[in-house]
Amino acid sequence: MVAPYIAPDARRAVWQLLTTGLPFFAIMAALLAALSRGFLAALVVTPLDAALLVRLFMFQHDCGHGAFFAARRANDMLGRALGVLTLTPYAFWRGSHAAHHAGMGNLDRRGIGDVTTLMVAEYLALSQLRQFGYRLYRHPLILFGLGPAWLFLIRHRIPTGHPRQHWRDWISIIGTDAVIAAMLVALVLIVGPAAVLLGWLPVMLLAATIGVWLFYVQHQFAETYWEPRQSWNFHAAALNGASFYDLPRVLHWVTGNIGFHHIHHLASRIPNYRLHECYAANPALQAAPRLTLGASFACARLALWDAEHGRLVRFRDLPASD
């Protein structure tokens, strides 16, 4: 079903890059220039530039899967460059994201490149202090407020693990940090620190929040898929554990068609610009769990996997303790 849609198209990829990258840089330059002259009204374009940055991240995401261009070198070069704009060390992120794809929905491989999710029994076995910590972690204000800032501004800046064993990650993170630092110093020298703080930082943080939300909601919905290793199935995890996020057309454009997430997990080599074609041509792929934009916001309160009933539940759904 999906094989005809895997081949990248260089002309479509370059067109996407030009029609997204050039407006992003133009708006960012105009925003910083206006703020350096005290025109705070320019902040009205912050959401627009953040949306374009989200789309650029989706191109980086395709590069990490070897899907944007046919040549690996072209994907890696573009991915590293976009990683500076998205504050995401490309090679480090690519490794953790590959682990997410390899084990998504596998209860025995939780915590690698995904949102930490406890089973009901695991949560109830915790001390009250650790239950409070997990509740705090899963609170929407943390997940979608402080979480994106911590992930993109701090976590992605600090290499972990032994430098000999994880030297590629260290090079990826430190190299990306060095280029980001040079970029910020140049911007501060050109437009001043206030303009960078009021212009560049909000665009980054808003885009990060959107990105974290998209990653969260496309797996953390009520009737998602989790199974222990012995009964886990890759195809079932893709088709039942990744949603079809049925967004308005303009938001599908902004998010690089990542709403067709079940198809992406079924075949991650399909470029973003061919996911809709694959969906439209295959009725079997149209039966995936569907989330509308409005209905998706209820997913923010889901926090625990109820293995007995095969669904994610809220803390308030737990039986009252004696």
Return the percentage of the chain with pLDDT > 70, whole number.
99
pLDDT band at 161 (very low <50, low <70, confident <90, very high): confident
The pairs formed by 117-123 with CB atoms below 8 angstroms and a separation of 24 or more are 117/220, 117/226, 117/303, 117/304, 117/305, 117/312, 118/303, 118/304, 118/305, 119/304, 119/305, 119/306, 119/307, 120/304, 120/305, 120/306, 120/307, 120/308, 120/313, 120/318, 121/307, 123/304, 123/318
pLDDT band at 163 (very low <50, low <70, confident <90, very high): confident
190 pLDDT exceeds 60?
yes
108 pLDDT exceeds 70?
yes
Return the percentage of the chain with pLDDT > 90, whole number.
93
Tokens 């079924």 -> residue:
266
pTM, two decimal places: 0.94
Give residue 67's pLDDT: 96
> Alpha-carbon distance 184 to 147, whole Å?
22
63 pLDDT exceeds 50?
yes
Taking Cα atoms as reference points, which of 310, 50, 314 lies closest to residue 203? 50
Cβ–Cβ under 8 Å, residues 199 and 35: yes
137 pLDDT exceeds 70?
yes
277 pLDDT exceeds 70?
yes
pLDDT band at 232 (very low <50, low <70, confident <90, very high): very high
153 pLDDT exceeds 90?
yes
Which amino acid would we find at residue 7?
A
Give residue 322's pLDDT: 45
Write the Ramachandran bin of 28: left for phi over 0, alpha for psi from -120 to 50, otherwise beta.
Answer: alpha
What number of residues does the chain have?
322
Provide φ and ψ at 259, rounded to 5°: -60, -25
204 pLDDT exceeds 90?
yes
181 pLDDT exceeds 70?
yes
Q: How much is the average pLDDT of 81-101?
A: 95
> Alpha-carbon distance 58 to 88, whole Å?
12
pLDDT in tens, 24-60: 999 999 999 999 999 999 999 999 999 999 999 999 9
Give residue 113's pLDDT: 74
Give residue 321's pLDDT: 60
Which amino acid would we find at residue 268?
S
Average pLDDT, the chain: 95
